[in-house]
């Protein structure tokens, strides 16, 4: 199996707040992250496949770019993520964002023969989450 990764970037604001936690619990859990603040997010999407001998590749990287750009980057870039429909009802942690992004792009990628295997979402250069099928 071969893996291909495309990197994306977008800038957005958010705040961490849970509707099921009391005010003091939100403050204890999220600290300053309960305030509206921003990140320069890094998103890496990895798909898997076997190269087609006719083309030498298993996916068209421009198709991968188009799908993720249209379904994730454009809706998120320079937005307040808590108000973005893609994340409605979610706490905008990296974990939740990655799950919603995964769900948003999987059908379109599959329609083009790409099997999604990992979504990496980084808020900073120091921390990120990786969502995988395994």
Known catalytic membership, residue 59: no
DSSP state of 112: T
Q: DSSP of 41-97, one letter per residue?
A: EEEEEEEEE---TTTS-SS-HHHHHHHHIIIIIHHHTTEEGGG-GGGTTS--SHHHH
Q: Which of 19, 33, 63, 76 is catalytic?
A: 33
Query: Would you call 78 a catalytic residue per the annotation?
Result: yes
Tell me whether residue 127 is one of the annotated catalytic residues: no
Whole-angstrom distance, CA of residue 12 vs CA of residue 5: 22
Candidates 25, 70, 78, 95; catalytic one: 78
Q: Are 79 and 11 in contact (CB under 8 A)?
A: no
In the set 76, 123, 126, 127, the catalytic residue is 123
The catalytic residues are: 33, 78, 123
């Amino acid at each position: 199996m071969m893996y291909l990764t495309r990197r994306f970037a977008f800038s957005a604001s958010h705040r961490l707040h849970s509707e099921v936690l009391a005010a003091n619990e939100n403050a204890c859990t999220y600290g300053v992250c309960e305030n509206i603040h921003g990140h320069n997010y890094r998103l890496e999407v990895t798909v898997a496949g076997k190269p087609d001998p006719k083309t030498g590749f298993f996916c068209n990287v421009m198709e991968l770019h188009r799908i993720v750009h249209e379904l994730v980057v454009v809706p998120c870039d320079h937005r307040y993520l808590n108000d973005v429909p893609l994340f409605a009802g979610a706490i905008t942690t990296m974990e939740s964002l990655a799950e919603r992004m995964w769900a948003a792009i999987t059908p379109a990628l599959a329609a083009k023969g790409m099997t999604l295997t990992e979504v990496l979402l980084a808020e900073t250069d120091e921390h990120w989450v990786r969502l995988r099928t395994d």
